[in-house]
Structure 1
């Protein structure tokens, strides 16, 4: 296997000067959203500079964020009239934000928007449109299904909520924006739920005892030292179909009823209705066998806070409390994972809270090539981009 090395590519500007939690690239546009304090700063991936800010929506720090995928994702900005970003906060709520570029796209969202004085971005296009309430404690993580139909949120209250975006017709813009409904509340974890993630793509639906289960697969990791896998069945029930154990430490990364909240109103349904009156822990459901196929070498000296798997190269990156970034690669012959690159003190003495693989859009990319970089986010309020060099 050819050697791999990491080299500093750029530091996103400006520095945030406060602990930064997570950086999330848009599925296809050159935008990166970083959460810190009560703010999300959106950076341009073209020139690594600030594009805009989202402020005023939450009363406490924003821990995580996710871009809603478009049902018909396209690399063409002309097909995207509205962007939607969801934020999860320590105030126990999720916030829905929308960005409305002009029809003519006179201010392209791929570049920095600045006023005549060279400071102060045009941020009026971002609108805080809705609050999703229900969790009893801070939100730790959130994730969209590949289609953008479902949003999963998890919390210190040990629960996972699954929300559905009920889109209306193209002419009914208000309903398309605002109609969200809770379709499941999952309570099977015995500890704080630290992270949730939908599989980017899963091949097929499943069948069990005459029941069909959808192709969307949700994974959740908890302080109870388990990872649980969830699927939706033909009746709209989300059930646990697998439990993964094996870890000796925490995986880092509520009631039955339905809730639908619009502007200024909220309703809680009873146990009946969509769930049929049967708690999800009592329902007979599909049980999938998940097999551990490998284990990463132990390199970090402190907790690992973030793991990122590249769908393009198959490389895995980790970052954590020791300030180290590590890249691993699987040996195709033996199936064993090997350390291919590491950077110590990648953010100086500060901890690394998040790592993510991200497509490059900057001028350093050779024409006609699609390249990938690694983005790290740290306690120092700095977001760094790293070039991944193969064969050196």
Structure 2
């Protein structure tokens, strides 16, 4: 495996960066962090290959935990510890605030658009997952469902890349799966004690039939969808588990590359580990391919594979930098 640093981006504040998210063109990257600012980075032909072209610093009053683009690229959303989710519309090459979504009782931890761009999901410290329906004609957002099946802080909510199927993970150690029945969102399965302690993040593969999750217990776990029947009690089952034994720090973030199948995992030990899924004796297993211990100097909070350039990984850290790394098999 060949690993090279493409670029090291340093936002001016030097403070913790919580999140990075790619525009679906692969040419634009959004970042957010402790300094309450969203930065939009655009690809350039020369080093450092991405430059900050615009910032938004007046929408939130506390750290911005997460940013996410809609699949069309016309909308950008941010989730903040101030309890608000803000949506921005693309106007004249810049993203301008168009909606402020309020309702969570405390910190909003994650935000994500469904693959159809019809729904937006948010989750937070108030133990709830909210599903908002998007009216693209007037950029309005309506609450469809508020689900409080978790018993603790909800850290993450994400979507299958091929259908409006969502998953959430929590401080309570459980995974919840959700589907829309035409009127409201329903919890279709709860996997209790999916991890020991907090589950920090999860990611679907390109088919939407497999899922990886990471957590406080330093395990990477692989889940497979056995049934698409929403009434089945065991739609998703665990297929494999990999224990990261060479660290005492939690695993905070995971990204599954939809172009080549590689899985990137970042954690509190400042390392990024690259996995794939292999078959051993007819059974799927997680295989560690490489440990990258020189990318960041502090906790890795986010990893994101470029959606059009298979070998390009973005990562964000407490060290105040964004790293762009090329990883070739």
Task: With the length of structure 2 as denominator, give the TM-score of the two structures.
Answer: 0.84
Matches within 5 A, 1:192-341: 192-202=153-163, 216-234=164-182, 236-244=183-191, 245-253=193-201, 287-298=233-244, 299-334=246-281, 335-341=284-290
Contact 1:359 1:372 (8 Å CA) reproduced: no
Deviation string 1:46-83 (CA, Å, 9 cap, x unpaired) is 3211121111011111110111122xxxxxxxxx7xx2
Counterpart-to-counterpart distance in 1, 2:320 and 2:293: 18
Deviation string 1:261-306 (CA, Å, 9 cap, x unpaired) is xxxxxxxxxxxxxxxxxxxxxxx95644211122234244301110
Residue number among 117, 129, 149 corresponding to 1:160 in the alignment? 129
Residues 1:385 and 2:291 are matched in the alignment: no
**Structure 1 runs not aligned, ≥5 long:** 71-79, 102-108, 110-124, 169-174, 203-215, 254-283, 361-369
Counterpart-to-counterpart distance in 2, 1:147 and 1:309: 19
Question: For residue 20 of structure 1, what is the aligned residue in structure 2?
Answer: 17
Relative to structure 1, the CA distance from residue 29 to residue 10 in structure 2 (aligned partners, 3 Å threshold; closer, same or farther) is: closer
Residue number among 69, 83, 86 corresponding to 2:77 in the alignment? 86
Question: For residue 105 of structure 2, what is the aligned residue in structure 1?
Answer: 136
CA deviation after TM superposition for structure 1 residue 29, in Å: 4.7
**Structure 2 runs not aligned, ≥5 long:** 202-229
CA deviation after TM superposition for structure 1 residue 389, in Å: 1.9
Contact 1:16 1:382 (8 Å CA) reproduced: no
Contact 1:140 1:194 (8 Å CA) reproduced: yes
Question: For residue 152 of structure 2, what is the aligned residue in structure 1?
Answer: 191
CA deviation after TM superposition for structure 1 residue 346, in Å: 2.2
- Kindly indicate whether structure 1 or structure 2 has the higher relative contact order, using CA contacts under 8 Å at least 6 residues apart: 1
Deviation string 1:2-61 (CA, Å, 9 cap, x unpaired) is xx2422121125554111000000112510000022110111133211121111011111
Question: For residue 293 of structure 2, what is the aligned residue in structure 1?
Answer: 344
Relative to structure 1, the CA distance from residue 371 to residue 241 in structure 2 (aligned partners, 3 Å threshold; closer, same or farther) is: closer
Counterpart-to-counterpart distance in 2, 1:332 and 1:313: 16
Counterpart-to-counterpart distance in 2, 1:311 and 1:35: 23
CA deviation after TM superposition for structure 1 residue 339, in Å: 1.1
CA deviation after TM superposition for structure 1 residue 156, in Å: 0.2
Counterpart-to-counterpart distance in 2, 1:355 and 1:54: 22
Structure (1 or 2) with the larger CA radius of gyration: 1
Task: With the length of structure 1 as denominator, give the TM-score of the two structures.
Answer: 0.71
Residue number among 127, 130, 136 corresponding to 2:96 in the alignment? 127
Residues 1:30 and 2:27 are matched in the alignment: yes
CA deviation after TM superposition for structure 1 residue 232, in Å: 1.0
CA deviation after TM superposition for structure 1 residue 336, in Å: 2.0
Counterpart-to-counterpart distance in 2, 1:331 and 1:19: 35
Deviation string 1:169-203 (CA, Å, 9 cap, x unpaired) is xxxxxx2x2x210000001111111100011114x
**Cα root mean square deviation, aligned:** 1.9
Contact 1:43 1:49 (8 Å CA) reproduced: yes
CA deviation after TM superposition for structure 1 residue 167, in Å: 2.7
Contact 1:230 1:242 (8 Å CA) reproduced: yes
Q: How many residue pairs get matched?
A: 292
